[in-house]
Structure 1
Amino acid sequence: MQTLYKKLVAHFGSQIQTASALQVSQANVSGYVSGRWNMSEIVAMRAELATSGKFKAVELCPSLKEFQKHSA
C-alpha cells in the first residue's frame, strides 16, 4: 500500500501538491506514505477523480475492497 501512495505523490509532484489535490493536510499524506494509516474512502474517491482514474479508489482504500466484495 505504501508504494501505491508513493506513486500517487509522484503523480502530483510532492506531498504538498498531493495534499492540495486531495483536500487533506500534508501530514495526512505523510501518514499514508509512511504506513501510519490508510486513506479514507472519501479521500480515495477524490484521488481517483483528481487523477482521472489513473489511481482507483478501491486500490487506495482497503475498506472499499471489503465493500466491493459484499456488494457483488
Structure 2
Amino acid sequence: MLVLSRKPSERIQIGDDIEIKVISVDGDQVKLGIAAPKSIDVHRYEVYEAIIKENNQAASSKEDVLSVLKNL
C-alpha cells in the first residue's frame, strides 16, 4: 500500500483518468473530491461491501429464476 501525505487542495493522480483532491481537513475528518470517468464506479467502502454482499446473495439463490418465470 502506498501512503501519501497531502494538505488541503493538494491532489493525487491515479493513471490518466482519476484525480483525488483533499478538500478540507477538520479534526479527524478528511473531505476528498474524486474526479473519475463515469464508467468507473466510486463508492464509500461500506457501500461497496454491501453491493458485493447483495450480489453474492443474488448469485447463490437456490431458486431457478427461469423456471419460476416459465410458471407465470
The alignment's TM-score, normalised by the length of structure 1, stands at: 0.30
The alignment's TM-score, normalised by the length of structure 2, stands at: 0.30
Specify the structure having the higher radius of gyration (Cα). 2
